[in-house]
Amino acid sequence: MTNWDTPGLIDIPAVRDHLGALGVVEKDLPFPFPIKRVYFLYDVPADAVRGSHAHKELHQLIIAVSGSFIVELDNGSEKLSFDLHSPDKGLRVPPGYWRTLSNFSGGAAALVFASEEYDPTDYIRDYDEFVSWSQK
Ligand code: TYD
């Protein structure tokens, strides 16, 4: 049973035949939250570092639908690093994790499913504030 309160990679269901592959994310399969928002990152310069924030409530599923990039996660006491490079794997990111996305390859695209609509008040953008918040 997948624990969505911890980060980790999950399989993204796909239908593959001689015409190619079709990945699917739909209700509960595999994202067990209401999908209230989908956004995607593309045209990211190779030296860019995206993210650098945490969320208080938001659950996300991040898929490298094209190319590759690295996602680093930090909950204030533990740091994890994930090399995303395949559309058949998704990274679950629970609330309470400082995240950075970096090392984008040429043509990389990150597809993100989110459990909530965009809400600037759900962000923590200062790392020291995040560490204090995470220790509460
Ligand atoms: P941000 O979340 O900081 O991007 P990243 O973590 O990938 O570096 O968002 C970048 C900008 O886009 C910021 O001005 C907020 C805006 N934005 C929206 O308007 N809606 C959204 O759903 C998201 C994720 C960001």
* Residue 53 falls in the annotated catalytic set: yes
Contacts of residue 25, defined as CB under 8 A and 6 or more positions apart, other chains included, come to 12, 13, 31, 35, 61, 63, 90, 113
**Residue whose CA lies nearest to ligand 1 atom number 2:** 51
Question: What is the rounded CA–CA span in Å between residue 31 and residue 60?
Answer: 8
Q: Where are the beta strands (DSSP E) in 18-108?
A: 20-23, 26-27, 30-31, 37-41, 50-55, 60-66, 69-74, 79-84, 89-93, 98-102
State pTM to two decimals: 0.97
pLDDT in tens, the chain (136 residues): 799 999 999 999 999 999 999 999 999 999 999 999 999 999 999 999 999 999 999 999 999 999 999 999 999 999 999 999 999 999 999 999 999 999 999 999 999 999 999 999 999 999 999 999 999 8
Q: Which of 53, 55, 59, 85 is catalytic?
A: 53
Most ligand 1 atoms within 8 A of CB, residue of 38, 118, 121, 130 to mutate: 118
Tell me if 122 sits within 8 A of 58, measured CB to CB: yes
Instruction: State the sign of the Cα–Cα–Cα–Cα dihedral 113, 116, 121, 123.
Output: negative
Identify any residues that bridge with 55 across adjacent strands, giving them in sequence order.
Answer: 123
Q: Whose CA is nearest to atom 3 of ligand 1?
A: 51
Provide the pLDDT for residue 14.
Answer: 97
- Give me the pLDDT at residue 116, please: 98
List, chain by chain if needed, residues with CB within 6 Å of any ligand 1 atom: 37, 39, 41, 50-51, 53, 118
Instruction: Give the number of other CB atoms < 10 A from CB of residue 30.
Output: 17
